[in-house]
Amino acid sequence: MVYLYILFLFSPALFSQETKVDSPKSNTAILAFTGDLMCHSPLYEYAKTEGGYDFTPYFQYIRVELSYADLTIGNLETVLGGRELKYSGYPRFNSPDEYALALKQAGFDFLVTANNHSLDRGEKGLLRTLDFLRVNGIGSTGTFSGKQDRDSIRIITVNDISFALLNYTYGTNGIPVFKGKEYIINLIEKTLIQKDIRTAKELKADVIIVVFHYGKEYKREPDNYQKMVNDWVWEAGGDVIVGSHPHVLQPAEVMTDSLKNLTRFTAHSLGNFISNQQWRYSDAGAVLYLTFEKTAGKPVLKKTDFLPTWVFKGTIEGRQTYRILPSTASGCEHQYDFLSQSQRDTFRKSYDDSKGILTGFNSEIGVFPLLNCRH
């Protein structure tokens, strides 16, 4: 169980929202990141109940793996604009509140909210999303309710290691950002990114993590734009980059500078964690685990692992539904008796695809072992 204690620290020049995570581990912090959290219309239609919506079964086979980390972070690629704005999927998303509640129950502690669908229901939908997350104890960054909120760097401390979390998107699907309220969403701009990284350094964050929504959809390697934006982060002194938006996995890489005693990590895209995109590569994602250890007062990235995931869509006990399955279980998929033989074959192929893509730049990046084959 992760408990978040939020402290608001203000000074004339610097703002931060500092969160402390209560965890039993001593000098080690494990962070988990997932791919895109989509909510296409079949996802909420299949979750409909007499009294509302229940998304919790979708996560029943992945909950243990999400809860393993001290802090679990996902990309919320929808808004929670409320029933009155009408629920919808692609191309303008608006999802039931129960979706976010199911994410929290599944183990998500923090959501990044800057992406191309952030303005799908205008300012009202964006602000209601932030209010709902706040009231329900889910941290967020990337979209904001005001300028001071935007300028407040989110810093989360886990076992005496402090992490600054920053989030930016390439755009908003052509929906203009509201005039005079440019603070409402972080767009990818070199000046802004590097300014925020400098502020995080001044606030003494041990590790600076930047989550980008960028890249070309369905492309399994990063493009030149992604590489250029990444360089902005390294120039300013960032430590970790995690990407989303392509809806497929892209390679991860560890970069070590022995002269400067630096280790930097990039996961260009973690694919779809949950979506209705039921075709090869887009039906897969990954949970990325980063293990940091503080030695002699300095945090070190000790380990990088990923857990490939695959999204099942089909019928269980007579009801159409979804399940996120950890694809490292492809050797014991017999426990999922709802899978057809064709789905079992796809499940195994997904694991091979995902491992090949994610380790394409660095073969030493490991596959996280399944914690509990029988849930």
Q: Where are the domains of the chain?
A: 3-367
Q: Distance (Å, rounded) from C-alpha 110 to C-alpha 163?
A: 12
Contact, 274 vs 37, CB < 8 A?
yes
Angle (nearest 5°) at CA 273 between 293 and 176 = 100
Rg of the chain (C-alpha set): 19
Beta bridge partners of 280: none
Q: What is the pLDDT of residue 296?
A: 84
From 4-18, 271-285, 325-339, the region with the lowest mean pLDDT? 4-18
Average pLDDT over residues 263-289: 96
Q: What is the pLDDT of residue 363?
A: 81
Helix (H, G, I), strand (E, B) or coil at 206: coil
Average pLDDT over residues 173-180: 95
φ/ψ of residue 366, rounded to 5: -90, 165
Q: Distance (Å, rounded) from C-alpha 344 to C-alpha 149?
A: 46
φ/ψ of residue 171, rounded to 5: 180, -170
Which tokens is 174 given?
Answer: 């052509």
Beta bridge partners of 10: 15
- Average pLDDT in the chain: 90
Better-predicted residue by pLDDT, 19 or 297: 297
Q: List the CATH code of the domain at 3-367.
A: 3.60.21.10
Of 357, 347, 115, give the one whose Cα is nearest residue 248. 357
Beta bridge partners of 72: 32
